[in-house]
Structure formats: C-alpha cells, structure tokens
C-alpha cells in the first residue's frame, strides 16, 4: 500500500527535488526500506546499517513520533503521512 512520505530539504536532492514521494509499505521500516530502494542516495541518511533510525533523525506518522510508538515496526496505512525531520544543530559563532 502506498504511503506519502514528506521529505526535508536536505533529502530532496536524492529524490529528484520532490517534497513528497509515495512508496509502498505496511510499517515505517518497510516504507523507509522502499524509500532507500527507490532513492539509493538516501542510504545511510535515515537509518544505520542495522536498519535502526539514526538518533538525529525524527520520523513521524501523522503527528506522532515513531520513537514513542513502535519505532520502525509502527504500522502505517494509505491514509497515513510519514514525515522525516533531521535534527538541526548549530549556534552563534564567537559567543
């Protein structure tokens, strides 16, 4: 079943500039695996080699953080929207 995945700016270049893509999967993990299969440039950007989410990447199903659900085992349906949000770090220089 296709799920809509909203991509942050930093990942769009790996998906031909698309803000949103549709990929198949019944769990968050399956969707992320299909996303990387469709757009190999995202490999290593979202998950580590074991398939676990990188600690600096937040994934939401609708408005719910999957880390507080079942992580990559969280089920999804065609009516769900998955959003990927990398953590942003930085600060003022010379402070």
Give residue-wise pLDDT tens across range 76-91: 999 999 999 988 766 5
Distance separating alpha carbons of residues 39 and 19, to the nearest angstrom? 13
Could you say which architecture CATH assigns to the domain 2-86?
A: Roll (3.10)
Model pLDDT for residues 48-76, shown as the tens digit of each residue? 888 788 888 999 999 999 999 999 999 99
At residue 92, the pLDDT reads: 60
Quote the distance between the C-alpha of residue 70 and its chain's center.
15
Domain ranges of the chain: 2-86
């Amino acid at each position: 079943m296709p799920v809509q995945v909203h991509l942050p700016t930093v990942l769009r270049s790996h998906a031909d500039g698309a803000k949103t893509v549709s990929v198949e999967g019944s769990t968050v993990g399956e969707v992320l695996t299909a996303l990387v299969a469709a757009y190999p440039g995202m490999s290593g950007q979202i998950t580590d080699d074991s398939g676990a989410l990188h600690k600096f990447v937040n994934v939401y199903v609708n408005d719910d953080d999957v880390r507080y659900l079942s992580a990559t085992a969280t089920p999804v349906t065609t009516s769900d929207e998955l959003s990927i949000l990398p953590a942003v770090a930085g600060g003022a220089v010379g402070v």
